Structure 1
Amino acid sequence: MTVSRSTTTAQEWISHDPDPKTAAELLECDDEELERRFSAPLTFGTAGLRGPLRAGPSGMNLAVVLRATWAVAKVLKDRGLDGQDVVVGRDARHGSDEFALAAAEVLAAQGFPVTLFFTAVPTPVVAFAVRSIPAAAGIQITASHNPPSDNGFKVYFGGGLPIVSPTDREIEQAMADAPPADEIPRHPVQPAGVGEIQRYVERAATVRHSHGAVRVAMTPLHGVGGEFALDALVRAGFTDVHVVEDQFAPNPDFPTVESPNPEDPAAVEAVLKLAADVDAEVAIALDPDADRCAVGIPTPDGWRMLTGDETGWLLGDYILSQLEPGPVTEATVVASSLVSSRMLAAIAAEHGARHVETPTGFKWLVRADEDLPGCTLVYAYEEAIGHCVDPSAVRDKDAISAAVLVCDLIAALRDRGHTLVDALDDLARRHGVHDTAVVSRTVDYAHEAGAVMARLRETPPDTLAGYQVTATDLSEKGTDAVVLSGSGDGVSVRVVVRPSGTEPKVKSYIEVHCADVTDLDAARTRARELRTELADVAARW
C-alpha cells in the first residue's frame, strides 16, 4: 500500500512522535518521501541499528530509540531477566546524548537498574561494563565510523557479547509491537559509571608484557577515544605520546576529514605526518567510537599503514608467543573471519593452538570458542582493522587495548634489535607471502548487490589470474558469500565476494599466497602482481 500523509501509518507515527522537530519534518515530506521513510524500518544488521538521523521508522530518531529500547526490555523480561542491571553508553555524535538518556529512562521505567555513563565513552567500555558488572545487557548509541549524518543503536547481551539471531529478530518483532513512542514510560536516571570507566582503562593497560618506552603518534579522528587511549597508554608506561591536536577533541562534524574511517588513506594523513615530524616509532589512528585501530609504521621507503591483516598476524603471533607450549596452548583459540587472511591459521598451527574461521562480524568472532569445551579464546581479528586482544575482559573489538599491545610488541621487538618490518618479514619466511586487498563496488540499491551475487552463483568464473578456480556458495550455511579459490605451482588465490552489511556495496576480499619464499622480494612482487590482476577483475563484477 502506498504511504501518504493521509494514511493511518504515517498519521499515527506523526501524532505520537515525541520530538516536535521530527514530527514537523514528516509533515513537510511529500508522498514519495513518506513512502521512502515508511517502506523499510531500520533492522538489526552487522552492527545493530544504524542509519541517517531523520524522522520516521527508517531513520535514527527519538521515536525509534524509545521503541527499540522498549523492545530490548521486553526481550529481557521474556527471558526472565527482570530487574537485572543494564548499561547504557554513547559516543559524541549528533543526537547521542538525547538517545542515550531516553534509552536509560525507558529501561528504568521497566524496572531495570541502569548504569548510564556520565560522559561519552568508547564502545568497548560498554562491552567491558556488561561483562564486568555483570549486566544482563548493554546499549551503546554509536554509528562507529559512519558519516556525521548517521547514528546507531548497538546491543550487547550477557557476557558483553554483541547480539546475534534469534535475539535480533526477537527485538525487531517487539519493536513492531511496541506502544506508540510517546506512550512508552520513562523514569529519571542519574548518570554514573566512573568506577567502570576506571576499571576498563586499568584493564586495557595490563595487556602489556614488555618494558621500555615507545614514541607514539596518535589520533582519535574527532571521536571519543583520545583521553581514554592516552590514559591507558600512560598507565602501561608509554608516556611519549604525541597527538594530532585538531583531531583530539570529540567533534560530531569530523571537520578535518571527509570520512572518519582510519581505513581511508586521507583520514590518516595528519597522524602519519605527525609521526614523521616527531620521529615516532608507530602511528595509531582510532575510529570515532574507538573500537577499531589502524597502525602506521616507518619503513625504508617512508611511513605506511599496515593492513588489518598484517596487524592481525603480528598481534596473533605475539599473543601466542606468550604461552607455554603444551596443554594450555592446545586449549587456546584464535579466530579470524571468512573475509580475513588465512595466515593466522598457519601461525596458530605453528604454536600448537586452535584456529577458528567464523562468518563475517565480531558478533561471530567473539563466540569462536563457544562450541569448544575446555578451550579459551585469546585473540580475534577481522581485516577491517578490528582486534579483540583481551577477550576475557572485552568480547568485542577494542582499539584502546589493541593500541597498548601494538606498542608493547614494538618495545619487545626493539629489545631484540628488530622492528615491525622485521617481524613481518619473519612471518613471511615462516608461512609464505600473503598479499591481501579489498575491492568495493558501490551499487545504487540493495537489489543491485543481490543481482551481482546471483550472477556469480549462476555463472562463476572458471579461472582467475590464470588459475582454475572452484566456486563455493556459502548461502546454504547462512552466509551471503561466494568463495572463489584455486592454486598451482606453490601459489594459491582466493576471493570472497559478499554484499556489505552496512553500506550499499559489493565487496571482494582478495588473498594471494606464495609458498616459495627463497627470494622474498620476488615472491612479494609476484603476489602483488596477481593481487592487482584479481582486483581488476573483481572491480568489474
Structure 2
Amino acid sequence: MTDGTDLPDGGSVVDAVHAWLVADPDPATRAELIALDDDQVAERFSGPLRFGTAGLRGPVRAGPSGMNRLVVRQATEALATWLRQHPGETETVVIGRDARHGSDAFAAEAASVMRRRGFDVVALPDPTPTPVLAHATRALHAAAGIMITASHNPPADNGYKVYLGGDDRARGAQLIPPADAEIEAVMDAPPAGAPDDDTPSTTPTPTRDPRGDEAVDRYLARIVERFGAGPRPVRVALTAMHGVGGAPAVAALRGAGITDVGVVEEQFAPDADFPTVAFPNPEEPGAADMLLDLARRTEADVAIALDPDADRCAVGTEIDGTWRMLTGDETGALLADHLLSHTASDAVASPLVATTIVSGSLVERVCEHHGARFARTLTGFKWLVRAGDGLVYAYEEAIGHCVDPDAVRDKDGIATAVAVVDLVAARTSADTPARQVLSRASDDLAARHGVHVTGQVSHRTDDLAEITAVMTRLRSASPTALLDTPATVDDHATRDDGLHTDAVAITARDDGRRLRIIVRPSGTEPKIKAYLEVALPPDPDVAGSRSRAADLMARLRTTATELLTGAPS
C-alpha cells in the first residue's frame, strides 16, 4: 500500500485506512480490511455509499463503499444530528430489519446510536417486513424510521432505508431531497475516535420491546380493518421468496378470512442466501416458477409472490389455460378499478390515484371512468405518496402498490396480497369462478378502454459514459417516428415542473393507436432502460386486439433496443 495522494479527494489511502480502522467498531471488518491487497483497498476507498432510493444500499463488506457497522453508525449519527436540527412531534425512532446478512448487527448498531443520542427507540422484534416499519413510523408519529434492508437486491447486499415524520401526507414516507443530501453531508465528515464505552465494539442487544410486538399486531389489524374479514372461498398460492413476508402474509390473509393458503415451502422461511432463485426479485424471469408450479398443482385461484422484504407484490393468474405472472401495470389497473369501485364517496370526496411517468396509461382511463383524479409523479414511492390529498391508491410498474395510504405511505406487498384476494372474492359468482376473475376483469377493462400492453427493454453496461452518450443522442437526434407513425418528443430534463428528470419520452399517435417509449438511466444499476407501451382503442374483438398489440409490442421492442444500443434501424 502506498502513502501517496491516491483518493479522489486528494487524500492518502494510508491515512484514510488508518482513520477507518481506528473508528471501526467491528473486529471482523477491521481484520477483513487489513487482509486486503493494495488494489482492493483502493477500490473500497474509491468513494462512499451514497443515498439513493431513500437510503444506502451496497455489498456487505469492510470499508466506506460497503455496508458495515461503521457505515451504519455514521449514517445513524448523521440522521440523529439532522433530527435534532429539525425537531418533530416526538423523539421516537422506529427501527426494523429484514433477514439479510448483517441485518441484526446493523439494526442493533442503529438502535444503540439513537439511544445514546437521547431518542426513544422502538425496535421491531425479529426480522420484519418493510411495510410494518412504514406503518409503525406513521402510526406512532415517529420522528424517523430506519429499516435495514436491501429489498430484492442480490444476496451479498444490504441497505439502510430512512422514513421521516412530517404532515399527514408525508408522515412515515421515505425521505426526499433536501433531507437526504443534508444527512449525507453530515456523513461526509471523516470518522474520528476509537470505540469507547459509549460506542462499544460489541453492540449490546436490548431487551425485547413490547411496543415492537404491538406494532406488528397493529399493522395486521389495520389490514383486516381496511379489507374486511369473514370467510372468503379463494384458494391462494404464496411465495415469500426466502424473505420475511411469509408468516405475516399468511396471518394477514387468515385474519381477512382467507384460510385456503398454500405456500412454496422451499421459499417460505427467511434465508439470506436465497438458494432457489438466481435473483430474489419476482419480476425476474424464472423467479416465480416454483410459485406457478404450486398454483397449477393445487388448482389455486390466484398466485402471490412477495419480494424479500415484502414491500412489493407480484400477482399470477390462469389465462386461457396457462398460468403467468401479471405485469405491474396489469395489476395496477385491476386494483385501481377495484379500489375506486369500493371507495365510499363520504369517506373520500374526490379520490386520487397516482402512478409514475414510466407506468402504463390504462389506469388513467380507469380513473376517468370512475370520475377520480389522476396524477403522475417521478419514479419511486417517495414521490407517489406525496402526489396529493385524497390519495386512495398509488402504484408503479415495478410491482409496487400502495393500497392503503392512510395507514402505510409506501408500497406494501402484504396489504396488496389481501386487496387482490378481496378483488377476486368480490367478483366471484356463479358465472365467474374465482380462478377466472382476474382474467375476465382484465378483458372487461380492455373492452371498455382498449387493450394496453406495456413492456421494458434494458441495456447494461460497465461504461457509464455509454449511458450518457445514449441520452445525448436521443436529445440531439430525436426519433421523428415510431413504427412509421409520426412522433413527438418530451425531454423531461427541460421541464420546469415536478416531472423534471433525466428521461426522454417519445410518443406516436395514429387513428386512436398510441405508441410510447420512455428512456431513462436506472437509478440503482449501471444500465439504461426503455419503458414501452402499445395502447389500442376499444374493440369488441378483445382477443384480436390483444394479438395486434402483441405484434406491435414486438416491433416496438426492436426499435427500443436500437435506440439503447445505437444500432442502425
Q: Same fold, TM exceeding 0.5?
A: yes
Q: What is the alpha-carbon distance in structure 2 between the residues aligned to residue 328 and residue 414 of structure 1? A: 26
Match of 2:30 in 1: 23
* TM-score, normalised by the number of residues in structure 2: 0.91
Paired amino acid for 2:332:
G
- Deviation of the 1:183 alpha carbon: 5.0
Stretch moving more, 69-78 or 260-269: 260-269
Deviations, residues 72-111 of structure 1 (Å, cap 9, x unaligned): 1011001124961000000000000000000000000000
Match of 1:344 in 2: 363
Match of 2:476 in 1: 458
SS across alignment from 1:102 = helix
Paired amino acid for 1:314:
L
Paired amino acid for 2:6:
T
Match of 2:455 in 1: 437
Paired amino acid for 2:479:
P
Stretch moving more, 445-454 or 521-530: 445-454
- Deviation of the 1:230 alpha carbon: 0.4
Paired amino acid for 2:268:
F
Paired amino acid for 2:58:
G
Report the RMSD for the aligned CA atoms in angstroms.
1.9
Q: What is the alpha-carbon distance in structure 1 between the residues aligned to residue 95 and residue 430 of structure 2? A: 44
Q: What is the alpha-carbon distance in structure 1 between the residues aligned to residue 398 and residue 225 of structure 2? A: 25
Q: Does 1:196 align with 2:215?
A: yes
Q: What is the alpha-carbon distance in structure 1 between the residues aligned to residue 47 and residue 358 of structure 2? A: 28
Q: What is the alpha-carbon distance in structure 1 between the residues aligned to residue 486 and residue 27 of structure 2? A: 61
Q: What is the alpha-carbon distance in structure 1 between the residues aligned to residue 465 and residue 29 of structure 2? A: 29
Change in CA separation of 1:397 and 1:181 when aligned onto 2, cut-off 3 Å: farther
Describe how 1:122-271 pairs up with structure 2 within 5 A. Answer: 122-158=129-165, 159-177=171-189, 179-180=191-192, 182-183=194-195, 185-186=198-199, 189-192=206-209, 193-208=212-227, 212-271=232-291
- Deviation of the 1:25 alpha carbon: 2.3
SS across alignment from 1:252 = coil
Match of 2:518 in 1: 496
1:428 to 438, 442, 446: 446
Change in CA separation of 1:347 and 1:36 when aligned onto 2, cut-off 3 Å: same
1:407 to 413, 417, 421: 421
Deviations, residues 312-355 of structure 1 (Å, cap 9, x unaligned): 00001100001356x76652111001111111111111111100
Match of 1:8 in 2: 15
Q: What is the alpha-carbon distance in structure 2 between the residues aligned to residue 328 and residue 394 of structure 1? A: 17
- Deviation of the 1:501 alpha carbon: 1.2
SS across alignment from 1:94 = coil
Match of 1:372 in 2: none
- Deviation of the 1:463 alpha carbon: 1.6
Q: What is the alpha-carbon distance in structure 1 between the residues aligned to residue 299 and residue 503 of structure 2? A: 43
Match of 2:79 in 1: 72
Q: What is the alpha-carbon distance in structure 1 between the residues aligned to residue 224 and residue 558 of structure 2? A: 43
Paired amino acid for 1:168:
D
2:351 to 304, 328, 332: 332
Paired amino acid for 2:421:
C
Describe how 1:246-395 pairs up with structure 2 within 5 A. Answer: 246-324=266-344, 331-369=350-388, 375-395=389-409
Q: Which runs of 5+ in 1 are unaligned?
A: 370-374
Q: What is the alpha-carbon distance in structure 2 between the residues aligned to residue 412 and residue 360 of structure 1? A: 31
Change in CA separation of 1:446 and 1:330 when aligned onto 2, cut-off 3 Å: farther
SS across alignment from 2:286 = helix
Describe how 1:477-492 pairs up with structure 2 within 5 A. Answer: 477=495, 478-492=500-514
CA contact (8 A) 1:291 1:400 kept: yes
Q: What is the alpha-carbon distance in structure 1 between the residues aligned to residue 36 and residue 503 of structure 2? A: 37
Q: What is the alpha-carbon distance in structure 1 between the residues aligned to residue 556 and residue 134 of structure 2? A: 38
Q: What is the alpha-carbon distance in structure 2 between the residues aligned to residue 178 and residue 417 of structure 1? A: 68
Q: Does 1:512 align with 2:534?
A: yes
Change in CA separation of 1:173 and 1:378 when aligned onto 2, cut-off 3 Å: same
Q: Does 1:469 align with 2:493?
A: no
Change in CA separation of 1:515 and 1:90 when aligned onto 2, cut-off 3 Å: same
Change in CA separation of 1:262 and 1:6 when aligned onto 2, cut-off 3 Å: closer
- Deviation of the 1:486 alpha carbon: 1.1
Change in CA separation of 1:6 and 1:471 when aligned onto 2, cut-off 3 Å: closer
Q: Which runs of 5+ in 2 are unaligned?
A: 166-170, 565-569
Stretch moving more, 73-82 or 311-320: 73-82
- Deviation of the 1:208 alpha carbon: 2.1
Paired amino acid for 2:369:
E
Q: What is the alpha-carbon distance in structure 2 between the residues aligned to residue 456 and residue 180 of structure 1? A: 46
SS across alignment from 2:99 = coil
CA contact (8 A) 1:207 1:404 kept: no
Change in CA separation of 1:358 and 1:181 when aligned onto 2, cut-off 3 Å: farther
CA contact (8 A) 1:48 1:153 kept: yes
CA contact (8 A) 1:63 1:181 kept: no
Change in CA separation of 1:109 and 1:324 when aligned onto 2, cut-off 3 Å: closer
- Deviation of the 1:17 alpha carbon: 1.6
Q: Does 1:59 align with 2:59?
A: no
CA contact (8 A) 1:493 1:513 kept: yes
Deviations, residues 479-522 of structure 1 (Å, cap 9, x unaligned): 11111111112211111111111111111110111014132222
Change in CA separation of 1:343 and 1:515 when aligned onto 2, cut-off 3 Å: same
CA contact (8 A) 1:481 1:496 kept: yes
Q: What is the alpha-carbon distance in structure 2 between the residues aligned to residue 278 and residue 239 of structure 1? A: 14
CA contact (8 A) 2:54 2:175 kept: no
State the aligned residue count: 535
Match of 2:567 in 1: none
Tell me the percent identity.
Answer: 50
Q: What is the alpha-carbon distance in structure 2 between the residues aligned to residue 122 and residue 59 of structure 1? A: 23
Deviations, residues 108-130 of structure 1 (Å, cap 9, x unaligned): 00000001112010000000000
Q: What is the alpha-carbon distance in structure 1 between the residues aligned to residue 314 and residue 308 of structure 2? A: 12
- Deviation of the 1:178 alpha carbon: 6.1
SS across alignment from 1:471 = strand
Describe how 1:41-120 pairs up with structure 2 within 5 A. Answer: 41-81=48-88, 84-120=91-127
